[in-house]
Amino acid sequence: MVNQGEKVDPSILYEHTLKTKRLKQDDFQKRTVQQLTELYYDINQQKTPIKSTPVKSSKTIDTHQANRAGASAFGFFGNLFSPSEKAYKQVDMVYNVEAKDESEDSLTDPNIKGVYLHGDVGCGKTLLMDLFHTCFVVNEIKGIKRIHFNKFMLDFHKRMHLLKKENAAKNIYASDLVGPLAKQLSEEAWILCFDEFQVVDIADAMILKRLFFELWKNGTICIITGNRKPEDLYKNGLQYKNFQPFIPLLMQHIVENHMNSGIDYRRKEIASHGESFYLSSLPNSEKNFTQKLLDTAKISSISKMTSTDLFVFGRKLTVQKSYGRIALFTFSELCEAPLAAQDYLEIASNFDVIFIKDIKRMDLQTQRAEARRWISLIDQLYDHQTGVVYLAEETPENIFYVKDEIRTEYTSEERLFMDDLQIQGTKAAAALSIISGEEEAFALKRMISRLYDMKTQDYWDNVSRRIKHGDR
């Protein structure tokens, strides 16, 4: 075990991990480790952030006009995905900020470029980024932060909301809140390690260029993991024309690394601690699931569990059954109710182990909302190393399915989405799959891999450490 205070770099730590975790040699990982080691020493030599200088283009562009022109250029599909005037106004006025168009602005090249690691699920991207982060922690070097990208954006939106509220109380109505907040974030940490970098939310997409322009202007260095190539981020997303300028800015500040080893290391080890994924079709599965819950919580009956209230942005979220930092949920409570990523984040932060029963199969055609919530839930639990025990109808690979039928009915959520896009008729509505099908395929593959990893001994060792030390 590496001792606190012992000087290490990513290469040393990787070799140590190979020995202690009995990982096999992987050429893709070794090349990435060498790249991260060089980056580690470059950052240590620089010591402090070096700012970039904005370069203003002489061109002026009306982004709304350009987006409408772009939509028209693509004919039917351009009009199909063209948001309403109301949607444009909502984007402009978000956080009471007038849209500051810097789509034609650029920055001078950074002194040090970060790294963007992408590849198939389970190839070791997060492991290597975490080794890089650990080197700074062990060597007591300040200025680095490791965070799930979704959590980072949730925190950003929360801070923006609070800042707007504070300014309103002081009768201050600033035209730009992103710049000052980005400066604050850069002062807290100028080396940011983002896990699972993905853009699926329109609010994130619209503000990403503005936010990262300011972060990189302040000298921030980003180490990023993701499943998609940089140029495929937010592919086919709403108002993509407004997001697109972020891509060249990103490429200017990172070195792309495709870790395409084709090996999913999460499936290499199954834990000896006992079962954590019970199939309801097998004999005594529900009885065994319940007994594991009682043993974990150290109680004699589920009746000992009580309700508790969590609060998400001031809104109450009631957990019906909990005991200490152990909770029991039904699939319906978690995925059929209108919950979102911030709700799952709060659950993952407040409980060390959760039990989920009555997990149903989901038809990706008719239960898209439930499927997305399930994927978001697993992402948050996995990122927080929360222990999870499941009672499900099917194995991880078969939780999702497609009936492959022609649809004539749509959920209220899908109909609202279609209304927002001014879509009319079921033929046009079928194009919904163009927007999200590919993203769901990536998310599905990652979800299956994570469910397997959440059964491993290494994962449950982390859960045990979290329980012992009270980590949140």
Contact (Cβ atoms closer than 8 angstroms) between residue 224 and residue 115: yes
Domain boundaries, given as residue ranges, for the chain: 10-258, 265-469
Contact (Cβ atoms closer than 8 angstroms) between residue 239 and residue 279: no
Of 424 and 394, the one with more pLDDT: 394
DSSP 152-194: HHHHHHHHHHHHHHHHHHTT---S-SHHHHHHHHHHH-SEEEE
End-to-end CA distance of the chain: 23
Helix (H, G, I), strand (E, B) or coil at 449: helix
Report pLDDT for 469: 61
User: How does residue 262 score in pLDDT terms, banded at 50, 70 and 90?
Assistant: low
Query: Cβ–Cβ contacts within 10 Å for residue 205, how many?
Result: 21
pLDDT per position as a tens digit, 68-117: 333 333 333 333 333 333 333 334 444 444 444 444 478 999 999 999 99
Nearest Cα to Cα of residue 344 among 114, 154, 187: 154
Report pLDDT for 172: 72
- How is residue 389 written in tokens? 């025990």
Contact (Cβ atoms closer than 8 angstroms) between residue 190 and residue 143: yes
Kindly give the interhelix angle for 125-138 and 27-46, rounded to the nearest 10 degrees: 30
For residue 285, with 0-12 CB atoms within 10 Å meaning exposed, 13-18 middle and 19 or more buried, which class applies? middle
Render the burial of 17-48: b for 16+ CB within 10 Å, e for the rest.
beeeeeeeebebbeebbebbbebbeebeeeee
DSSP 210-244: HHHHHHHHTT-EEEEEESS-GGGTTTT-TTHHHHT
User: How does residue 50 score in pLDDT terms, banded at 50, 70 and 90?
Assistant: very high
Q: Where are the beta strands (DSSP E) in 348-392?
A: 353-359, 362-363, 387-392
DSSP 295-346: HHHT-S-GGG-EEEEEEETTEEEEEEEEETTEEEEEHIIIIISS--HHHHHH
Contact (Cβ atoms closer than 8 angstroms) between residue 290 and residue 275: no
- How is residue 140 written in tokens? 């007591």
Strand partners, 392: 279, 359
Report pLDDT for 260: 72
Phi/psi for 395 (5° steps) reads -70, 165
pLDDT per position as a tens digit, 1-48: 555 556 899 999 998 888 776 566 778 889 999 999 999 999 999 999
CATH class, 10-258 region: alpha beta
Nearest Cα to Cα of residue 365 among 329, 330, 324, 400: 400
Is pTM beyond 0.85 here? no
**What would the mean pLDDT of 185-205 be, rounded to a whole number?**
90
Strand partners, 118: 226, 258
Encoded amino acid at 220, one letter: T
